[in-house]
Amino acid sequence: MKKMKKIVLAYSGGLDTSVAIKWLKENYCEEVIAVAVDVGQKINLEYVKEKALKIGASKSYVI
């Protein structure tokens, strides 16, 4: 199967989406871009952004 170039992942910072970053890179694409959405939740979104990069996302955004 041919790998895609990029996938954008709606990233929460939880276990499931964190595991998904590595799994997607290994199985489906060359680059995973993580996007977390600020909906007023009381979590540190800068930490979530950095966590995605540490796990292997090529880019990470909070919108």
* Domains observed in the chain: 4-62 (3.40.50.620)
Q: What confidence score (pLDDT) does residue 1 get?
A: 62
Each residue's pLDDT tens digit, 20-53: 999 999 999 889 999 999 999 888 999 999 999 9
Q: Which residue has the higher pLDDT, 61 or 1?
A: 61
What predicted TM-score, i.e. pTM, was given to this entire model? Answer: 0.88
CA dihedral 35, 40, 41, 43 (to 10 degrees): 70
Helical axes 45-55 vs 15-27, angle rounded to 10°: 30
Q: What confidence score (pLDDT) does residue 4 get?
A: 74
CA-to-CA separations, 34 to 1, 23, in angstroms, rounded: 23, 13
Is the pLDDT assigned to residue 10 strictly greater than 80?
A: yes
Q: How far is the C-alpha of 28 from the C-alpha of 25, rounded, in Å?
A: 6
Task: Please report the beta strands in 1-63, taking only residues with DSSP state E, as ranges in sequence order.
Answer: 4-10, 29-36, 59-62
